[in-house]
Chain A
Amino acid sequence: QSVLTQPPSVSGAPGQRVTISCTGSSSNIGSVFDVHWYQQLPGTAPKLLIYGNNNRPSGVPDRFSASKSGTSASLAITGLQAEDEADYYCQSYDSNLSGSVFGGGTKLTVL
């Protein structure tokens, strides 16, 4: 059972927009701690997709965006492409655990 809750799967057709939610609590997302998002393609290491709630590292397309509100966060992907098919994870810091926490991951399928 992950500390952060994500839907197990989402899907969308090419060109569409999808969102992935990440729900936490007052000791992590609902506190002062930032939310980060990662994309993991099959057989590869996770890649930082969004940091500090809504910032894209260099090289990440602006089709990817994210937001945080209260004890939840969400990742949005617009203009879906086949190459976006991957697992997506949210991550934050938890003051009760004094360490990082991850969501259980969401598998994105591009129809």
Chain B
Amino acid sequence: QVQLQESGPGLVKPSQTLSLTCTVSGGSLSSGGYYWSWIRHHPGKGLEWIGYIYYSATTSYNPSLKSRVTISVDTSKNQFSLRLSSVTAADTAVYYCARGGSFSSYGIDYWGQGTLVTVSS
């Protein structure tokens, strides 16, 4: 059973960089075959795909966030990470890491529990 767990600060100041890490257990990032995504959920709004990474470090980002987003992978730790720069209050959301999110026919089948990140001074 694959499990994902997000970790990182719950409070970030405006203009700073949001950094989150997702630790994967029950499966290996380096085994290939899957894309690994970051997705966020703004309070009272819908889900927004942020981007994904493959174990080879191939990435794709949401065009609306592309200039501020970096997703990286550390296969030795079985982790992948999100960095979102120059944050504003509009970036306050619950952030999820998940398996899937590409053009796969299998959907996004495993999700982390989510972590609330608040942008405030």
In the docked arrangement, what's the CA distance between A2 and B52, Å? 19
Against A, the Cβ 8 Å flags (1 = close, 0 = not) of B26-69 are: 00000000000101000001111101100000001111000000
List CB contacts (< 8 Å) of B74-119 with chain A: 96, 101-109, 111-114
Report A-chain residues with C-beta under 8 Å of the C-beta of B105: 34, 51-52
Within the assembled complex, what's the spacing in Å between the Cα atoms of A51 and B96?
A: 19
Residues on the A chain within 8 Å of B46, using CB? 2, 89, 102-105
Contacts of B48 in A (CB 8 A): 102
For chain A residues 86-105, which have a beta carbon within 8 Å of chain B?
89, 91, 93, 97-105
B111 close to A99 (CB less than 8 A) = no
Q: How large is the interface on A (under 10, 10 to 19, 20 to 34, 35 or more residues)?
A: 20 to 34
Determine if B62 and A48 form an interchain contact, defined as CB atoms under 8 angstroms apart.
Answer: no
A45 to B62, CA, bound (A): 20
Assess the A45–B49 pair: CB atoms within 8 A.
Answer: no
Q: Helix, strand, loop or mixed for chain B's interface? A: loop
**In the complex, are the beta carbons of A36 and B60 less than 8 A apart?**
no
In the bound complex, do residue A100 and residue B101 qualify as a contact, i.e. CB atoms below 8 Å apart?
yes
B-contact bits for A38-60, CB 8 A (1 contact / 0 none) = 10000011111011100001000
B89–chain A nearest beta-carbon distance, Å: 19
CA distance A94 to B70 in the complex (A): 20
**Contact across chains for B51 and A48 when beta carbons are under 8 A apart:** no
- Sample of 16 A–B contacts (CB below 8 Å): A33-B103, A34-B105, A34-B107, A38-B47, A38-B107, A45-B112, A46-B111, A51-B105, A51-B106, A52-B105, A89-B47, A93-B103, A100-B39, A102-B47, A104-B45, A105-B47
- A-binding residues in B (CB < 8 A): 37, 39, 45-49, 51-52, 60-63, 96, 101-109, 111-114
Q: Which residues of A contact B (CB under 8 A)?
A: 2, 33-34, 36, 38, 44-48, 50-52, 57, 89, 91, 93, 97-105
